[in-house]
């Protein structure tokens, strides 16, 4: 029988192994670290402000979620991280502003735009959210809430960008979003692009309907001619097209806004396809007739991106419009002036304070700005990290730096850790425009490669601050070069080979000063899809964003530098195994389930095997949002699709771990997925990582960090993949399994008074932990009985720590410091702060006991110093010895003080109680002597600020702080001062011992045993928990 | 034979769990099972006061504390912070604080909002006689918490009490309570309290470890090292004056 049970258990183990599935709980307490940047912020799609409290603002980012401030930007927090990060519109219910509606999916449909998943609502000011459906709308342009009833809401659904679809038009709910009625619908190609509700008569609505379509190679504003402006006067039941005053013919995108102070005044920016009739229109009769007021550039520029108007709520003749620049008119749209030129271009949202028309907020491609003078000057909110990275890379500096290029915000780099956190000032710009790939050369350290849109490659010199344009040109034997908007640059690991690609692949061996073409045209070269010069529909929009039939992904195998993979935007996957002499197109080998022509977004040649590669395909530009990830293990001859129902969002990037080939990372439009079994099963990683598009990622080979370039939340890092590397199917069959952790480096102190006083409103990205880590896998969640951790050094227990209780990965972080010394009280602030600094632990091996109920599990970890640190081990040893001596002295003094205090208190009590004169006198004398000695040793009675004295206690605390805050050799003066303090302390102890052995002993001789003065032994005093009475 | 019965026991447990997953028990059934598991409602009603000592861990540092609670939601605690003492109390109406390190040198009343938060820390478990005490239970979706499945029970009353308890499906004890902060720095934010290390204190089961998190970030871990029920208390400790 016993044998049977054993067999059962064993087979269960095997079964579990075969049955292994990657689950989110396996990632346990591993948390991502967001480092920003916010210095350049990112694209804002909408703003919503509390109707009566202008300090409460909701910000919708194009790809970075919803942010809220209750302090006019002093503090900003993301409040929508568990949901789709592409935001279209936000509206607060005027009658109950804690009710917040969010429509997802950005309505400014540029080539790189993300997608939404419908409507959401919060009834508690954005703390908790519920989905309200309309998932298929893809993008929502406007939300209007009835002024008196928070459950009546109108939604302008733009609908799918890349395909036709019926989930678009104007939707209405009367039950807070439980059910929706489509109240205005024209056809499957025409969506609602804007909505304006009359606050004075909420039955009246204006809706801008827009026919539009994007393909990978073109954009068409106007499309089938159904665009138009519509009005309803009965809460959306019936609609009339408004046309009187607009030119004949096809219309494009329209922005519409009613003046809240005068319901008859309505503004519309209208795209007509003609520069003289496009622009700003005004109606003075509630939409019945329209007058053309202006065709100034910014009233008609790029309508698909800028058709948003705002009327000053308190003055119907003041109207502002989004454009490349923000503009404002004070004469009802006739003459216009630009907003502050120091604001980032490309405006998408303008809010004018109903209580003060000079107070304006704007949202641009570069974040949120605030004006108090009606737009002449703006100040930027410097704490909104919604930057949209296209790509990311790292270098080998210590600490390593992170590089990347951003949507409309150039190319930047910063260290991944910095004193006090990674601040705005830590980021350095290498080039402007839209940024994409950016790399530091691994050996020529002053070179950073960056680019701007459409193949403009530069080599920036960080020494001189000057960039050299190094892009190749077309030659006699080539077609004109076609560069993707997001042109691939690839640097070989050793930095010797730089690749750059149009429809051809180019190689440079001299950092871009000369190029050799090493491929024929690797695309389909479909001429019908190379018409970007005429793209845009009614308004030509030729920005290189529609450049097509181009190379999009390039990767040299890290195992074999003759093997290079190339993926194109039109679906070709090509490989060479002879450094470009010959190329093989692999498309015929693809499985049938891969849509033809799907954009190849990423190729990851395996770091373990030259024949293995992972490839992501993205077909969303035809309206197909499925996740396509494939793997080959034979150089591209055969392909296996990885993942299925467990993945969501179109695929953007993939990496295989450098150490454990079964650990694979996939970035999709909806966040990061991990597989622990080579791609068979996947689970989302959501710990401090929002559902943001992951465009690129890289694993730092030295630090083992996974660095993510997100399109909306900047750079996010998962520090130290060591734990994930060790979570194997075998591990998950165990009850408790310790995982190896890397030796922890003792952190060097960051000194005193670092940082500046910039006030609130500046973003600071977090640094990686400096704690030692104890990591274990637990097979089940711990709920009953004790579970904690003890840490030992050389047999002595130095710490007790709370244990992690989760099923899956647990990471316990232990500060690499001792407990702070027990110190005598003081009213001197500096001495108190000084005494609160615990000394660092000694380098070496530490033993860990994990106690779980009756079981104990043991492991160990190592603490060491960074071998590249400028402070030598010898100097550190001197420092440590001095600190520990001051530590011991601090505790000795604490003991002396405690004994004096107890003696004083007991003597005082004896003095009061005793009726014998001799005893009263002796007790009184002892009380006074003890009190006097206490005052000589420590300063009490001050104000912790400017009334501070300095006695031995304070001198010791200050010196302790000075010595412990510098990791190298203390100065001779400090060592001498330590000696002096120690001598004084020894004298104080002698004095105490004499006092106890004489004065106190004499009094005790006269007292009964019960009445005698007592005091604790030093060991007991140090061992006791800090004094908390009551037990 | 013994092994066989163990095996059957295992199979039975397994079957029970499967069934449990199919149809979640009602909030009332959960409450009943939970109260049984922690020692029974009657035994809990006998408790008039309790005192716990332990340590609070914040940002890697330990702060010893002693906490006393009594009927009427009375509360008193002392925390030692770098040798300086911080005291907080609540007499059932007014919460106060004494915190010399922060310049609060005498007992000072806290805000009404803060007092209200103390008021909502029910001394008697809310699930005991919940209906008679005006609490309403509502089943909400359970979720995976720390890797284990749970049932959700939202508890509200006519006032502003609104906390969602997540009961581990396997043991039917709460392992996380989610609520929205009403005062101070957590105002308007969802605070999650994770509970474990359930142990017997004078015959009653109590979670002796609590981990407070906001957005997944732990800001305070409480480890109770000692607990006593029905201790003698001078009621003056709860008072502001």
Band (A754; pLDDT cuts 50, 70, 90): low
> Which pLDDT value is given to residue B6?
40
> Which pLDDT value is given to residue A954?
87
Residues of B whose CB is below 8 A from A128: 180, 190
> Which pLDDT value is given to residue B61?
80
State how far the Cα of B148 lies from the Cα of B171, in Å rounded to an integer. 11
- Which domain covers residue A1008, as residue numbers? 881-1023
| pLDDT tens per residue across span A281-330 | 999 999 999 999 999 999 999 999 999 999 999 999 999 999 999 999 99
Could you tell me if residue B20 is inside a domain? no
| pLDDT tens per residue across span A405-455 | 999 999 999 999 998 899 999 999 999 999 999 999 999 999 999 999 999
- Evaluate whether A805 touches A787 at the Cβ level (below 8 Å): yes
Residues of A whose CB is below 8 A from B65: 1028
CATH number at residue A833: 2.60.40
Q: For residues A156 and A175, state if they share a domain.
A: yes
Last residue of some domain: A380, A409, A440?
Answer: A380
CB–CB contact B188 A124 (8 Å): yes
| pLDDT tens per residue across span A241-281 | 999 999 999 999 999 999 999 999 999 999 999 999 999 99
3-state secondary structure of A924: helix
CB–CB contact A25 B226 (8 Å): no
- pLDDT exceeding 70 applies to what percent of chain A? 95
State the average pLDDT over residues A736-742. 94
State the average pLDDT over residues A695-702. 98
CB–CB contact B190 A128 (8 Å): yes
Band (A659; pLDDT cuts 50, 70, 90): very high
| pLDDT tens per residue across span A378-405 | 999 999 999 999 999 999 999 999 999 9
Q: For residues A210 and A75, state if they share a domain.
A: yes
Could you tell me if residue B125 is inside a domain? yes
Residue A855 has pLDDT above 60, yes or no: yes
State how far the Cα of A127 lies from the Cα of B183, in Å rounded to an integer. 14
The closest of A53, A103, A55 to A83, measured between CA atoms, is A103
| pLDDT tens per residue across span A189-242 | 999 999 999 999 999 999 999 999 999 999 999 999 999 999 999 999 999 999
CA-nearest residue of chain A to B174? A783
Band (A815; pLDDT cuts 50, 70, 90): confident
**CA angle centred on A841, ends A837 and A843, rounded to 5°:** 145
Q: For residues A911 and A1006, state if they share a domain.
A: yes
C-alpha to C-alpha distances, A637 to A574, A585, A586, A587, nearest whole angstrom: 12, 10, 7, 10
> Which pLDDT value is given to residue A257?
98
Residue A47 has pLDDT above 60, yes or no: yes
Q: For residues A830 and A970, state if they share a domain.
A: no
Of all residues in chain B, what percent are helix, strand and coil, respectively (each to 5)? 25, 45, 30
Band (A834; pLDDT cuts 50, 70, 90): low
> What's the gap in Å between the CA of A803 and the closest CA on chain B?
10
| pLDDT tens per residue across span A474-483 | 999 999 999 9
Q: For residues A148 and A90, state if they share a domain.
A: yes
Q: What does DSSP say about strands A228-232 and A44-49: parallel, antiparallel, or unpaired?
A: unpaired
C-alpha to C-alpha distances, A146 to A91, A92, A94, A284, nearest whole angstrom: 10, 10, 8, 23
CB–CB contact B147 A124 (8 Å): no
State the average pLDDT over residues A703-722. 97
Residues of A whose CB is below 8 A from B5: none
Residue A640 has pLDDT above 60, yes or no: yes
- Nearest CB partner across the interface for B196, out of A28, A128, A783: A783
| pLDDT tens per residue across span A762-786 | 999 999 998 999 999 999 999 999 9
Could you tell me if residue A203 is inside a domain? yes
Q: For residues A234 and A367, state if they share a domain.
A: yes
Could you tell me if residue A778 is inside a domain? yes
- Which domain covers residue B173, as residue numbers? 26-238
| Strand segments (E) across B82-203 | 84-90, 95-99, 104-109, 136-140, 150-156, 162-168, 174-180, 190-201
Band (B186; pLDDT cuts 50, 70, 90): confident
- Evaluate whether A209 touches A322 at the Cβ level (below 8 Å): no
Could you tell me if residue B142 is inside a domain? yes
Q: For residue A449, which phi and psi values (nearest 5 degrees)? A: -85, 130
Residues of A whose CB is below 8 A from B80: 1025-1028
Residue A950 has pLDDT above 90, yes or no: no
Residue A829 has pLDDT above 80, yes or no: no
C-alpha to C-alpha distances, A28 to A735, A867, B144, B145, B197, nearest whole angstrom: 15, 31, 12, 10, 18
Can you tell me the ipTM of this complex? 0.90
The closest of A140, A268, A138, A278 to A221, measured between CA atoms, is A278
> Which pLDDT value is given to residue A944?
60
State how far the Cα of A264 lies from the Cα of A922, in Å rounded to an integer. 96
Q: What is the number of structural domains in chain B?
A: 1
State the average pLDDT over residues A918-941. 92
Residue A832 has pLDDT above 80, yes or no: no
Q: What is the number of structural domains in chain A?
A: 4
Q: Dihedral, CA atoms, A580, A582, A587, A589, nearest 10 degrees?
A: -120
Q: How many CB atoms lie within 10 A of CB B43?
A: 14
CB–CB contact B196 A782 (8 Å): yes
> What's the gap in Å between the CA of B130 and the closest CA on chain A?
24
Could you tell me if residue B10 is inside a domain? no
Contacts for B172 with CB less than 8 Å, ≥ 6 apart: B25, B30, B33, B34, B37, B151
Residue A726 has pLDDT above 70, yes or no: yes
> Which pLDDT value is given to residue A322?
98
Residue B17 has pLDDT above 60, yes or no: no
Burial class (CB in 10 A: 0-12, 13-18, 19+), A379: middle
User: CA neighbours within 13 Å on the CB side: how many for A286?
Assistant: 16
3-state secondary structure of A777: strand
Residue B20 has pLDDT above 50, yes or no: no
CA-nearest residue of chain B to A690? B215
Q: For residues A172 and A286, state if they share a domain.
A: yes
Residue A180 has pLDDT above 70, yes or no: yes
- pLDDT exceeding 90 applies to what percent of chain A? 86
Could you tell me if residue A492 is inside a domain? no
CB–CB contact A1028 B80 (8 Å): yes
Last residue of some domain: A328, A360, A380?
Answer: A380
Residue B138 has pLDDT above 80, yes or no: yes
Residues of B whose CB is below 8 A from A823: 83
> Tell me, what DSSP letter sits at residue A998?
I
The model's pTM is 0.92
> What's the gap in Å between the CA of B132 and the closest CA on chain A?
28
Helix (H) or strand (E) holding A913: helix A873-913
State how far the Cα of A320 lies from the Cα of A308, in Å rounded to an integer. 9
**Which of A108-117, A705-714, A951-960 is predicted least confidently?**
A951-960
Could you tell me if residue A791 is inside a domain? yes
Residue A6 has pLDDT above 80, yes or no: no
State the average pLDDT over residues B195-208. 95
Q: For residues A261 and A399, state if they share a domain.
A: no
Could you tell me if residue B82 is inside a domain? yes
Helix (H) or strand (E) holding A724: helix A722-726
> Which pLDDT value is given to residue A949?
66
Band (B3; pLDDT cuts 50, 70, 90): very low
| pLDDT tens per residue across span A147-159 | 999 999 999 999 9
Q: For residues A352 and A393, state if they share a domain.
A: no
Could you tell me if residue A638 is inside a domain? no
Best interface-test mutation with B: which of A802, A895, A1027 has the largest number of B CBs within 10 A?
Answer: A802
CB–CB contact B146 A2 (8 Å): no
Best interface-test mutation with A: which of B49, B83, B185, B200 has the largest number of A CBs within 10 A?
Answer: B83
Task: For chain B, positions 191-220, list CB contacts with chain A under 8 A.
Answer: 194, 196-199, 208-209, 211, 215-217
**In whole numbers, what is the pLDDT of chain A averaged over residues?**
94
CB–CB contact A783 B198 (8 Å): yes
Question: For residue A206, what are its two tokens?
Answer: 């204006």
Band (B19; pLDDT cuts 50, 70, 90): very low
Could you tell me if residue B3 is inside a domain? no
Q: For residues A400 and A328, state if they share a domain.
A: no
State how far the Cα of B176 lies from the Cα of B170, in Å rounded to an integer. 14
Integer-rounded Cα radius of gyration of chain B: 19
Q: Note if the bond before A505 is cis, omega within 30 degrees.
A: no
C-alpha to C-alpha distances, A507 to A93, A448, A471, nearest whole angstrom: 58, 17, 11
Q: How many CB atoms lie within 10 A of CB A576?
A: 20
CATH number at residue B38: 2.50.20.10
- Evaluate whether A321 touches A335 at the Cβ level (below 8 Å): no
Q: Answer whether B185 touches A (CB < 8 Å).
A: no
Residue A831 has pLDDT above 80, yes or no: no
Helix (H) or strand (E) holding A507: strand A505-508
State how far the Cα of A207 lies from the Cα of A232, in Å rounded to an integer. 8
> Which pLDDT value is given to residue A16?
42
State how far the Cα of A822 lies from the Cα of A835, in Å rounded to an integer. 8
- Evaluate whether A959 touches A970 at the Cβ level (below 8 Å): no
> Which pLDDT value is given to residue A691?
97
3-state secondary structure A154-213: EEEECCCCCCCCCCCEEEEECCCCCCCEEEECCCCCEEEEEEEECCCCCCCEEEEEEEEE
Q: For residues A89 and A197, state if they share a domain.
A: yes
State how far the Cα of A956 lies from the Cα of A941, in Å rounded to an integer. 18
| pLDDT tens per residue across span A72-104 | 999 999 999 999 999 999 999 999 999 999 999
Residue A14 has pLDDT above 50, yes or no: no
Last residue of some domain: A864, A899, A915?
Answer: A864
State how far the Cα of A695 lies from the Cα of A686, in Å rounded to an integer. 16
Residue A1028 has pLDDT above 60, yes or no: no
Q: For residues A192 and A249, state if they share a domain.
A: yes
Burial class (CB in 10 A: 0-12, 13-18, 19+), A311: buried
Band (B100; pLDDT cuts 50, 70, 90): confident
Edge to edge, the sheet with strand A87-93 lists: A87-93, A96-104, A119-122, A130-131
Could you tell me if residue A596 is inside a domain? no
> Tell me, what DSSP letter sits at residue B34?
H
Q: Answer whether B104 touches A (CB < 8 Å).
A: no
Residue B18 has pLDDT above 80, yes or no: no
Residues of B whose CB is below 8 A from A1026: 64, 80, 83
Q: For residue A632, which phi and psi values (nearest 5 degrees)? A: -120, 145
């Amino acid at each position: 029988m016993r044998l049977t049970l054993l067999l059962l258990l064993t087979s269960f183990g095997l079964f579990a192994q075969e049955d292994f599935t990657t689950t989110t709980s396996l990632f346990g307490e591993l948390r991502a670290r967001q480092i920003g940047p916010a210095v350049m912020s990112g694209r804002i799609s909408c703003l919503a402000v509390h109707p009566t409290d202008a300090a409460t603002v909701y910000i919708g980012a194009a790809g970075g979620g919803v942010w809220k401030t209750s302090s006019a930007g002093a503090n900003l927090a993301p409040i929508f991280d568990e949901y789709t990060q592409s935001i279209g519109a936000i509206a607060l219910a005027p009658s109950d502003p804690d009710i917040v509606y969010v429509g997802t999916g950005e309505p400014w449909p540029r080539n790189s735009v993300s997608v939404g998943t419908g409507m959401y609502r919060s009834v508690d000011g954005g703390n908790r959210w519920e989905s309200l459906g309309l998932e298929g709308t893809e993008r929502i342009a406007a939300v209007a809430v009835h002024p008196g009833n928070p459950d009546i809401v109108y939604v302008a659904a733009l609908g799918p960008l890349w395909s036709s679809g019926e989930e678009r038009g104007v939707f209405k709910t009367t039950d807070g979003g439980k059910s929706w009625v489509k109240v205005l619908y024209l056809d499957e190609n025409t969506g609602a692009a804007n909505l304006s509700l009359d606050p004075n008569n909420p039955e009246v609505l204006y809706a801008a309907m827009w026919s539009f379509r994007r393909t990978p190679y073109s954009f068409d504003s106007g499309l089938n001619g159904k665009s138009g402006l519509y009005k309803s006067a009965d809460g959306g039941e019936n609609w009339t097209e408004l046309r009187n005053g607009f030119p004949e013919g096809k219309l494009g995108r329209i922005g519409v806004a009613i003046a809240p102070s005068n319901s008859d005044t309505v503004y519309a920016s209208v795209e007509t396809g003609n520069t003289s009739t496009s622009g700003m229109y005004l109606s003075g009769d509630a939409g019945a007739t329209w007058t053309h007021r202006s065709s100034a550039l910014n009233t008609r520029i790029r309508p698909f991106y800028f058709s948003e108007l705002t009327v000053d709520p308190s003055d119907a003749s003041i109207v502002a419009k989004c454009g490349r620049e923000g503009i404002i008119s004070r004469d009802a749209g006739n003459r216009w002036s630009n907003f502050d030129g120091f604001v980032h271009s490309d405006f998408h949202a303008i809010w004018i304070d109903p209580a003060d028309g000079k107070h304006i907020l704007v949202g641009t491609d570069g974040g949120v700005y605030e004006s108090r003078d009606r737009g002449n000057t703006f100040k930027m909110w410097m704490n909104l990290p919604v930057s949209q990275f296209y790509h990311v890379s790292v270098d080998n500096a210590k600490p390593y730096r992170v590089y990347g290029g951003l949507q409309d915000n150039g190319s930047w780099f910063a260290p991944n850790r910095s004193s006090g956190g990674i601040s705005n000032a830590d980021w350095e710009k290498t080039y402007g425009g839209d940024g994409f790939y950016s790399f530091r050369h691994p050996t020529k350290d002053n070179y950073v490669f960056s680019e701007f849109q459409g193949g403009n490659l530069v080599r920036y010199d960080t020494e001189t601050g000057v960039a050299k344009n190094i892009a190749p040109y077309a030659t006699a034997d080539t077609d004109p070069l076609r560069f993707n908007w997001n042109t691939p640059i690839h640097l070989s690991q050793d930095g010797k080979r730089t690749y750059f690609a149009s429809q051809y692949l180019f190689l440079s061996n001299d950092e871009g000063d000369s190029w050799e073409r090493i491929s024929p045209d690797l695309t389909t070269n479909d001429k019908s899809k190379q018409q970007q010069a005429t793209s845009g529909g009614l308004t030509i929009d030729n920005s290189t964003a529609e450049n097509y039939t181009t190379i999009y992904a390039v990767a040299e195998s890290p195992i074999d530098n003759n093997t290079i993979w190339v993926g194109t935007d039109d679906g070709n996957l090509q490989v060479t195994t002879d450094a470009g002499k010959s190329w093989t197109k692999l498309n015929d080998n693809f499985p049938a389930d891969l849509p033809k022509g799907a954009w190849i977004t990423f190729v990851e040649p395996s770091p373990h095997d030259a024949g293995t590669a992972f490839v992501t395909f993205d077909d969303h530009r035809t309206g197909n949002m499925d996740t396509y990830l494939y793997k080959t293990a034979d150089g591209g001859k055969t392909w296996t699709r990885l993942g299925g129902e467990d993945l969501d969002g179109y695929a953007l990037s993939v990496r295989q771990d450098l150490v454990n080939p079964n650990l694979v990372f996939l970035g999709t439009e909806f966040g990061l997925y991990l597989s622990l079994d080579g791609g068979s099963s996947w689970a989302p990683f959501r710990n401090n990582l929002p559902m943001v598009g992951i465009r690129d990622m890289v694993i730092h080979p030295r630090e083992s960090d996974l660095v993510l370039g997100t399109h909306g939340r900047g750079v996010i890092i998962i520090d130290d993949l060591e734990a994930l590397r060790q979570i194997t199917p075998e591990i998950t069959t165990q009850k408790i399994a310790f995982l190896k952790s890397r030796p922890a480096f003792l952190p060097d102190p960051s000194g005193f008074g670092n940082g500046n006083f910039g006030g609130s409103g500046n973003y600071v990205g977090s640094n990686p932990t400096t704690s030692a880590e104890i990591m274990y896998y637990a097979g089940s969640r711990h709920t009953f009985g004790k579970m904690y951790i003890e840490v030992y050094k050389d047999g002595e227990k130095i710490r007790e720590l709370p244990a992690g209780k989760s099923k899956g990965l647990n990471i316990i972080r232990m500060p690499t410091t001792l407990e702070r010394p027990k110190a005598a009280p003081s009213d001197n602030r500096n001495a108190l702060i000084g005494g609160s600094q615990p000394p660092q632990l000694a380098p070496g091996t530490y033993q860990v006991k994990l106690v779980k109920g009756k079981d104990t599990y043991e492991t160990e970890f190592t603490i060491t110093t960074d071998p590249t640190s400028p402070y030598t081990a010898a100097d550190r040893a001197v420092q440590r010895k001095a600190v520990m001596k001051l530590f011991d002295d601090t505790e000795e003094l604490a003991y002396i003080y405690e004994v004096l205090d107890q003696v004083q208190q007991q003597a005082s009590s004896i003095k009061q109680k005793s009726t014998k004169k001799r005893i009263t006198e002796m007790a009184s004398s002892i009380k006074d002597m003890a009190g006097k000695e206490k005052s000589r040793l420590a300063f009490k009675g001050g104000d912790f600020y400017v009334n501070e004295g300095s006695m031995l206690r304070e001198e010791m605390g200050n010196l302790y702080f000075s010595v412990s805050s510098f990791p190298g050799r203390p100065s001779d003066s400090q060592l001498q001062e330590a000696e002096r303090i120690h001598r004084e302390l020894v004298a104080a102890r002698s004095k105490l011992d004499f006092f106890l052995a004489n004065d106190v002993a004499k009094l005790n001789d006269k007292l009964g045993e019960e009445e005698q003065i007592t005091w604790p032994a030093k060991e007991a005093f140090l061992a006791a928990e800090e004094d908390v009475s009551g037990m | 034979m013994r092994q066989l019965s163990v095996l059957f026991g295992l199979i039975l447990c397994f079957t029970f769990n499967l069934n449990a997953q199919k149809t979640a028990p009602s909030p009332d059934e959960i409450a009943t099972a939970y109260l049984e598991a922690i020692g029974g409602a009657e035994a809990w009603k006998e408790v008039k006061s309790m005192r716990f000592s332990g340590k609070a861990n914040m940002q890697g540092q330990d702060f010893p504390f002693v906490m006393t609670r009594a009927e009427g939601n009375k509360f008193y605690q002392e925390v030692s912070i770098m040798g300086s003492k911080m005291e907080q109390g609540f007499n059932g109406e007014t919460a106060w604080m004494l915190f010399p390190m922060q310049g609060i040198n005498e007992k000072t009343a806290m805000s009404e909002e803060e007092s209200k938060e103390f008021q909502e820390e029910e001394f008697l478990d809310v699930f005991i006689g919940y209906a008679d005490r005006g609490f309403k239970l509502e089943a909400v979706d359970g979720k995976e918490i720390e890797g284990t499945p749970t049932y959700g029970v939202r508890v509200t009353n006519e006032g502003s009490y609104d906390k969602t308890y997540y009961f581990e499906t396997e043991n039917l004890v709460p392992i996380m309570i989610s609520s929205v902060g009403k005062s101070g720095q957590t105002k308007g934010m969802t605070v999650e309290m994770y509970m474990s290390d359930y142990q017997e204190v004078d015959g009653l089961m109590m979670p002796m470890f609590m981990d407070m998190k906001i957005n997944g970030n732990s800001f305070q871990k409480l480890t109770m090292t000692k607990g006593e029920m029905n201790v003698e208390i001078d009621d003056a400790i709860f008072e502001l004056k």
